[in-house]
Chain A
Amino acid sequence: MLDDFMVRAALAGIGLAVAAGPLGCFVIWRRMAYFGDATAHAALLGVALGLAFHISILAGVLVVSLGMALLFQNLTDRGTSADSALGVLSHGALAFGLVAIGLMSNVRIDPMSYLFGDILAVGTGELAVIWGGAAIIVGLLVARWSALLTTTLNPELAQASGLSPKREELVLTLALALIVAMAIQVVGALLITAMLIIPAAAARPAARSPEAMAIIAMIIGVAATLGGIFVSFAIDSPTGPTMVTVAAVIFALTTAASRLRG
């Protein structure tokens, strides 16, 4: 069954959506959308480094994404505003990545497949990476759930209850780098943040607790993935962007429904 590229694509998308649902909730609760973008853009440079040094692309993406997060921390600690630090890092990393890929004349790769992903080309090895990564992310979030939420609400409150806000932030940074590395082939560097934010935002009107929001976001993400694959097959459109389109339509529907009700 795993021979069928459609089945592999669906399983890859579901794995991503399961991890992106709860992680995406934290991204919007903590207003980290732009940070997610910067991490994703840096991934392109990671792809180039992975190819240049003959290490796995996954490792290259993880290293560069984490480096980006640390650099960001360092810049903002020294007084650069978060907004401009992210602006510089995000687009700087994207440009560096494109230049690096362009310079590698000996490797024939299409930057488009990393910018927009190529979910239909996912192999069984990558599928294992995606589900392994999803298990790690969901495991991390479940284990630290209350601590992460308390830190999100107020770092001093977390500190007073004996938690370390810095450690909890590191958990989220790690999870974000991991999901970017997993997702770059599925939806591509430009649309990873969309799969984090849109299902979570679409889940908000239907949820009355943080846990419900995370689970509903998972379900919406899975629906968008399957719907996107189906629609892209029917109208022959690029699959990654179609998944994001379906997610955006679901967001519009849940938001409109909550307006009508309330």
Chain B
Amino acid sequence: MTLVTLKDVSLGHGATPVLRNVNLSVDPGEIVTIVGPNGSGKSTLLKGIVGSIHPMSGSITLQKGISLGYVPQKLHIDPVLPLTVERFLRLAGGTTAQQAHDALRETAIEALAGQQMTELSGGQLQRVLLARALLNNPALLLLDEATQGLDQPGSARFYQMIADLRDKTGCAVLMISHELHVVMAASDRVICLNGHICCEGAPEHVASAPEYRALFGSGTQGALALYRHEHNHHHHDDHTHHDGCAHDA
């Protein structure tokens, strides 16, 4: 039973679709990472799954009664809005003080409960947003470039936390990232997106795929080499290539 299934989905904001003919599904407990250049439709895809935009064609099917956890790319809180971390968490309908406290402990930021949201650092804010997403025990966690603005060790710690959460709660994770070299250790499957699905499969496969190289160049070679060195004992071979993949680069 898949948690979410996209069938021949085209999505866009205006008349022209940003994404065409996307087919994908996420299984329970799976960590799927979407990579792609700016404007490739990554956030649009997530918005389609959340339901804030509707597909122009095709269908998006969520498992009946599924609870979603969503971590936005960034949360701009105007300084004119006073809001403590605890109050922010309790905005989600029916959240008790105990649940809010548990979620903060889960993301290792219990000490921040009384802090104003606008006084948080980028990394702290991401953890608060993650805590918010965990409140209703999501079966599927959606993360939209959740580590934007974090330095590399900060992102690595964040992704480690995601992987640990998955192991502990069994929730599936669908996340967007532009830092494949940072997330690949934690991902089961990587989807490379550029208006459509260019290639997908195990992280190491995608990293070495010509489609991925064409989009991202070889700038991440050093980190990839490091990854290979550390992980050469298990090589995934399950992958698929999609036809009709045209690149400008």
With contact pairs A204-B82, A210-B87 given, residues A159 and B52 touching in the complex (Cβ less than 8 Å): yes
With the chains together, A213 CA to B47 CA distance in Å? 32
The smallest beta-carbon distance between A35 and chain B, in angstroms, is 15
A113 at the interface (CB under 8 A from B): no
Interface bracket on B? 20 to 34
Q: Given the complex, which residues of A lie within 8 Å of B87, measured CB to CB?
A: 209-210
Instruction: Tell me the residues in window 54-92 of chain B with beta carbons closer than 8 Å to chain A beta carbons.
Output: 68-70, 72, 75, 77-78, 80-84, 87-88, 91-92
B116 at the interface (CB under 8 A from A): yes
With the chains together, A126 CA to B62 CA distance in Å? 51
Q: Given the complex, which residues of A lie within 8 Å of B84, measured CB to CB?
A: 208-209
Number of interface residues of A (CB under 8 A): 25
Q: Does A146 lie within 8 Å of B83, measured CB to CB?
A: no
B4 at the interface (CB under 8 A from A): no
Q: Does B75 lie within 8 Å of A29, measured CB to CB?
A: no
- Counting chain B CB atoms within 10 Å of each CB, the highest count among A28, A156, A157, A213 belongs to A156
Q: Does A150 lie within 8 Å of B80, measured CB to CB?
A: no
Q: Given the complex, which residues of A lie within 8 Å of B80, measured CB to CB?
A: 28-29, 201, 204
With the chains together, A208 CA to B92 CA distance in Å? 19
Question: Given B92, B116, B144, which contacts A150 in the complex, CB threshold below 8 Å?
Answer: B92
Question: Given B72, B82, B136, B144, which contacts A209 in the complex, CB threshold below 8 Å?
Answer: B82
Q: Given the complex, which residues of A lie within 8 Å of B75, measured CB to CB?
A: 153-154, 157
With contact pairs A28-B80, A209-B87 given, residues A156 and B52 touching in the complex (Cβ less than 8 Å): yes
A152 at the interface (CB under 8 A from B): yes
Residue of A nearest to B136 (CB): A161
The smallest beta-carbon distance between A220 and chain B, in angstroms, is 15
With the chains together, A156 CA to B144 CA distance in Å? 11
Q: Does A213 lie within 8 Å of B50, measured CB to CB?
A: no
A interface majority secondary structure: helix
Cβ contacts A221-242/B at 8 Å (1 or 0 each)? 0000000000000000000000
Residue of A nearest to B144 (CB): A156
With the chains together, A7 CA to B75 CA distance in Å? 46
With the chains together, A129 CA to B212 CA distance in Å? 65
Q: Does B52 lie within 8 Å of A161, measured CB to CB?
A: no
Residue of B nearest to A29 (CB): B81
Q: Does B91 lie within 8 Å of A149, measured CB to CB?
A: yes
Q: Does A159 lie within 8 Å of B82, measured CB to CB?
A: no
With the chains together, A201 CA to B77 CA distance in Å? 16
Q: Does A161 lie within 8 Å of B47, measured CB to CB?
A: no
With the chains together, A223 CA to B220 CA distance in Å? 62
- Counting chain B CB atoms within 10 Å of each CB, the highest count among A157, A160, A210 belongs to A160
Q: Given the complex, which residues of B lie within 8 Å of A160, measured CB to CB?
A: 50-51, 68-70, 142
Q: Given the complex, which residues of B lie within 8 Å of A204, measured CB to CB?
A: 80, 82
Q: Given the complex, which residues of B lie within 8 Å of A147, measured CB to CB?
A: 93
Q: Does B82 lie within 8 Å of A207, measured CB to CB?
A: yes
Q: Which residues of B contact A (CB under 8 A)?
A: 47, 50-52, 68-70, 72, 75, 77-78, 80-84, 87-88, 91-93, 116, 132, 136, 142, 144
Q: Which residues of A contact B (CB under 8 A)?
A: 28-29, 31, 146-147, 149-150, 152-157, 159-161, 165, 201, 204, 207-210, 212-213
What are 17 A-B interface contacts by the 8 Å CB criterion? A28-B78, A29-B80, A31-B78, A150-B92, A153-B81, A154-B72, A154-B75, A156-B50, A156-B70, A156-B72, A157-B70, A160-B68, A160-B69, A161-B93, A204-B80, A207-B82, A213-B81
